[in-house]
Amino acid sequence: MKSRIRLLLMVAAVSLLVSMVVMSLVERGTNPEIKSYFDVFWWWIVTSTTVGYGDIVPITVAGRIVAVVTMFSGFFIFTTLIAIVVESTLGRLERHVRGNAVVRATDHLLICEYTAMADELIQSLPQIPEFAGHAIVVATDLVDRNPYPQHTFVRGVPINPAVLRRANCAKAAMVFIFANFRFADPDVKTLHIALRVREQNPTAVIFVEVVDLQGELMQHAPGDLVVLSSRTAMEYLLRQEPLNPLDWIAEERRQEVVARLEARRAAASD
């Protein structure tokens, strides 16, 4: 696309230069409507855009030849410009759908792995006042298209630091990591992602869904992780209750997390 833009600018510059030089030489002094360089520039704009007001009309043979060339070059310039704009817009939409765009949002809620439990959380978050105003970003390779067009999708394995950077993990307010049961030991990958997230974002509140709370890995897991067992998460669903992440946080820490969310939301709105 950059080469097309350069070609477009080059054609426009050459067309303008030729028109200014030739029209000034052969029409100025002969054509009563052309008295200054600005008149020539105005004529070039009107002619190249095929508007054709008719207030300035070349009267010499050379001037009319230049007019024909200017019309064709103008047609090329503006049709190419429209094509570039349409292509850019469609490309931006396609990147959003395919998850190839870079996230610019900050203080967002980053969801790693798009599982059934993650889907339930995405549907529950709008019902929780404390999470209002926070954008939702889903980073996963389990789907190839954005499951929620109103939210942002980043396609890739969230254990990959490059994928986390595209999801702007460093600026996320909270990160939710769900168990991927395609792995023999989902907790290994879940905790590995948590470590990668913590490297990029030391202050985010990290929630992890863990299958085996008594497993050996949990003895070495960072103490600041908010842990939810898969069984407890399923109990929420069976009771037909929305998944509220604040319920998973210990009481003494919950107020601190809510205050931090409110402060970040207030700072973002200023």
- Which whole number is the average pLDDT over 230-236? 79
Contacts for 132 with CB less than 8 Å, ≥ 6 apart: 126
Average pLDDT, the chain: 86
Question: In this structure, what are the phi and psi dihedrals at residue 46, rounded to the nearest 5 degrees?
Answer: -65, -40
Assign domain 2-98 to its CATH architecture: Orthogonal Bundle (1.10)
Per-residue pLDDT averaged across 144-167, rounded? 92
Over the stretch 23-32, which tens digit does the pLDDT of each residue have?
Answer: 888 888 888 8
CATH architecture of the region 109-269: 3-Layer(aba) Sandwich (3.40)
Q: What is the pLDDT of residue 171?
A: 92
37-46's contacts with Cβ under 8 Å and 24+ in sequence apart are: 41/16, 43/19, 44/15, 44/16, 44/19, 44/20, 44/70
Res 110: pLDDT: 95
Q: Tell me what pLDDT residue 80 has.
A: 87
- β-partners of residue 226 are 207
Per-residue confidence (pLDDT) for residue 77, from 0 to 100:
87
pLDDT at 1: 67
Residue 215 has pLDDT above 80, yes or no: no
Q: What is the pLDDT of residue 137?
A: 95
Residue 132, by phi and psi: left (phi above 0), alpha (psi -120 to 50) or beta?
beta
Element holding 168 (H helix, E strand): none
Q: Determine the pLDDT at residue 155.
A: 93
Place of tokens 């908010």: 226
User: Tell me, what's the pLDDT at 158?
Assistant: 94
When mean pLDDT is compared over 60-64, 99-103, 218-222, the highest value belongs to 60-64
103-107, 140-144, 216-220: range with lowest mean pLDDT: 216-220
Is pLDDT at 250 greater than 90 in this prediction? no
Q: What are the pLDDT digits (tens) for 79-124?
A: 888 888 888 877 777 777 788 888 888 889 999 999 988 998 998 8
Whether the model pTM is above 0.85: no
Taking the C-alpha atoms of 162, 230, 251 and 218 in order, what is their torsion angle to the nearest 10 degrees?
A: -70
Q: Which region holds residue 234: left if phi is over 0, alpha if psi is between -120 and 50, else beta?
A: alpha
Per-residue pLDDT band for 181 (boundaries 50, 70, 90) equals: confident
Fold match between domain 2-98 and domain 109-269: no
Q: For the chain, which residues make up each domain, given as ranges? A: 2-98, 109-269
- Comparing C-alpha atoms, which of 159, 169, 161 is closest to residue 193? 159
Burial environment of residue 206 by CB neighbours within 10 A (0 to 12, 13 to 18, 19 or more): buried
Nearest to 27, CA basis, from 53, 55, 66, 54? 66
Q: Work out the pLDDT band at 200, boundaries 50, 70, 90.
A: very high
CB 218 within 8 A of CB 210: yes
